[in-house]
């Protein structure tokens, strides 16, 4: 099953209810919006295939061996890809009515920043947060930096998924802080168990692309 995301840009953020959705109003999405998001998806997909998929012998975070590795950090920090990532991921979570996005440092950090900028550009502003692997041992001793997440609806972001443990570590820290985690959203789903682990926690799972999109077999 393809991981293709919806092509309509949905309103998100604390003022989402004030933004009219053309579909809800009985109007079709604008051709410009559809075409632009399709172009973003194709651009990013081409970049992933050309520059982020490495073939060889690799050990995954799960400890399992694989003959390819998808290194999305090559692209989340790339000026050609980051704007498209922001728009694609914003659209992917657009119907969830959240106020902030982020995840475990450092894989999620550039994605959250890209989504923040994309949301501002579409007048549906979201804040971003960073989840440290451990609380600081000095200063305010915080584990979550950035947006105040207590009592707020948030989405956890990740670049690629293997077991889902990175996302779940972020979920645990956010829950301790009083956040309401709505979903986990990833750019590339490797289809190696992360979705089941996330859904077992009662969270929705969303992915912009999966291995079918990349022409790769699950390992």
- The domains of the chain, with CATH numbers, are 16-214 (3.40.50.2020)
What is the reported pLDDT for 62? 77
Annotated binding-site residue numbers for 5-phospho-alpha-D-ribose 1-diphosphate: 132-133, 136, 138, 158-166
Closest CA to 52 of 70, 34, 78: 70
Tokens of 169: 């570590």
115-130 pLDDT, tens digit each: 999 999 999 999 999 9
C-alpha to C-alpha distance for 174 and 166, rounded to whole angstroms: 13
8-66 pLDDT, tens digit each: 444 445 444 444 444 444 445 566 777 899 999 999 999 999 999 999 999 987 788 99
What is the reported pLDDT for 139? 64
Tokens of 139: 């200063």
Average confidence (pLDDT) over 166-172: 97
Average confidence (pLDDT) over 160-179: 96
Helix, strand, coil percentages, rounded to 5, for the chain:
35, 25, 40
Tokens of 66: 């694989």
* 88, 5 Cβ separation under 8 angstroms: yes
Which DSSP category does 4 fall into? P
Tokens of 16: 């989402």
C-alpha to C-alpha distance for 68 and 52, rounded to whole angstroms: 10
Average confidence (pLDDT) over 128-142: 83
**Beta strand pairing call for 65-70 and 100-104:** unpaired
Annotated binding-site residue numbers for orotate: 162, 190
Tokens of 110: 């550039």
With 50 as the cut, is the pLDDT of residue 5 above it? Answer: no
Annotated binding-site residue numbers: 132-133, 136, 138, 158-166, 190
- CB under 8 Å to 188, separation ≥6 — which residues? 48, 70, 72, 159, 160, 161, 207, 208, 209, 210, 214
What is the reported pLDDT for 28? 56
Give Cα 219 distance to the centre of its chain. Answer: 22
pTM of the model: 0.83
Q: Which of 8-12, 104-108, 135-139 has the highest mean pLDDT?
A: 104-108
């Amino acid at each position: 099953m393809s991981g293709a995301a919806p092509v309509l840009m949905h309103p998100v953020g604390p003022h989402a209810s004030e933004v009219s959705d053309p579909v809800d109003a009985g109007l079709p999405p604008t051709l410009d919006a559809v075409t632009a998001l399709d172009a973003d998806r194709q651009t990013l997909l081409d970049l992933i295939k050309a520059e982020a998929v490495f073939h060889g012998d690799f050990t995954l975070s799960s400890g399992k061996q694989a003959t390819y590795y998808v290194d999305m950090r090559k692209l989340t920090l790339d000026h050609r890809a980051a704007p498209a990532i922001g728009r694609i991921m914003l659209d992917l979570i657009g119907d969830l009515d959240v106020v902030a996005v982020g995840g475990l440092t450092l894989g999620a950090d550039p994605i959250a920043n890209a989504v923040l900028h994309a949301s501002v550009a579409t007048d549906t502003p979201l804040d971003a947060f960073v989840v440290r692997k451990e609380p600081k041992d000095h200063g305010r001793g915080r584990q979550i930096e950035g947006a105040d997440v207590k009592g707020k609806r948030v989405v956890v972001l990740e670049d690629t998924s293997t077991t889902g443990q990175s996302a779940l570590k972020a979920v645990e820290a956010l829950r301790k802080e009083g956040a309401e985690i709505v979903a986990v959203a990833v750019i590339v789903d490797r289809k190696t168990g992360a979705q089941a682990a996330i859904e077992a926690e009662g969270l929705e799972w969303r992915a912009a692309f999966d291995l079918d999109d990349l022409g790769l077999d699950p390992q």
